[in-house]
């Protein structure tokens, strides 16, 4: 018997996946933007994005049996009791301050898959986090979890954009949600706040200038002209999110059993 969406959503909440949505397992309408972005060489040193782009753009190429995507979002937003970094501490991007989400988030997705399989014998599924070749934010938008902001982040009215995303691909069809409409309006706070001008246009990020790329993905030296700009940031950059009005309005507490913020790294120890 096919489980209802409400039953799946309630089980997801119990498992620690408070926000979920349902999308068709198909190529998102915005997938062609990836080709343009790659041709303009804005992926910088992330050469893995150039491998098998067809798999990345269409989940049915990644897993031909896929029919439905269950998208899940878990907040990693700040709360009032988060420890503030000291003056000699390096700042870490908010998503990376807790336990490794690749492990615990995937465990929760797998537990949801087992539950669905119990309720719906014979169904097959695959649990995915950001190590899988999916256009995560595009599928999140299709599942109604938010819209893609001008900073390229998935933004939800309640959660903001400080979220961790995970996906469960099913080989059976389910009723799907409607994509979320854009609510950025005329705001350009994220573009104006980017310390390196990496947001070269609304919805367009040039990773060659992005501090998140240079402090996480870049295996070589940071370009000379960008070296003064990270400040105390040692892993990632949240500036384009911190200035977002929707992030400032977010009031949903983080999942503190796993997303427990830790103090920053001691800059003296890093020298």
**Could you give the residue numbers annotated as active site?**
130
The pair of three-digit structure tokens given for residue 219, joined into one six-digit string: 């295996």
Quote the strand ranges of the chain, DSSP E. Answer: 19-24, 68-75, 89-92, 125-128, 147-148, 154-155, 163-170, 199-201, 204-205, 233-235, 265-266
Q: Which conformational region is residue 16 in: left (phi greater than 0), alpha (psi within -120 to 50 degrees), or beta? A: left
CA distance 35 to 41: 10
Give residues with Cβ within 8 angstroms of 190, minimum separation 6.
Answer: 149, 150, 151, 199, 240, 241, 243, 244
CB 72 within 8 A of CB 19: yes
Q: Could you tell me which of 237, 229, 192 has the C-alpha nearest to residue 212?
A: 237
Packing angle, helices 101-119 and 5-14, rounded to 10: 140
H/E stretch holding 14 = helix 5-14
């Amino acid at each position: 018997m096919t489980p209802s969406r409400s039953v799946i959503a309630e089980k997801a909440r119990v498992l620690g996946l408070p926000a979920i949505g349902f999308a068709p397992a198909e190529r998102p309408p915005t997938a062609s933007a990836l080709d343009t972005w790659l041709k303009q060489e804005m992926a910088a040193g992330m050469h893995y994005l150039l491998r098998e782009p067809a798999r990345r753009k269409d989940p049915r190429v990644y897993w031909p049996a896929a029919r439905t995507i269950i998208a899940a979002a878990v907040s990693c937003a700040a709360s009032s009791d988060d420890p503030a970094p000291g003056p000699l501490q390096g700042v870490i991007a908010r998503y990376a301050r807790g336990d490794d989400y690749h492990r615990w988030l995937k465990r929760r997705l797998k537990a949801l898959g087992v539950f669905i399989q119990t309720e719906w014998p014979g169904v097959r599924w695959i649990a995915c986090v950001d190590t899988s070749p999916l256009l995560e934010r595009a599928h999140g938008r299709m599942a109604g979890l938010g819209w893609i902001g001008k900073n390229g982040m998935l933004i939800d009215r309640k959660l903001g954009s400080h979220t961790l995303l995970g996906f469960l691909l099913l080989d059976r069809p389910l009723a799907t949600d409607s994509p979320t409409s854009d609510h950025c309006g005329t705001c350009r706070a994220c573009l104006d706040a980017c310390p390196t001008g990496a947001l070269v246009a609304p919805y367009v990020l040039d990773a060659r200038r992005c501090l998140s790329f240079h402090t996480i993905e870049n295996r070589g030296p940071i370009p000379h002209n960008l070296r003064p700009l990270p400040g105390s940031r040692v892993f990632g950059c949240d500036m384009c999110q911190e200035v977002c009005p929707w992030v400032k309005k977010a009031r949903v507490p983080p999942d503190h059993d796993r997303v427990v913020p830790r103090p920053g790294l001691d800059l003296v120890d890093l020298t």
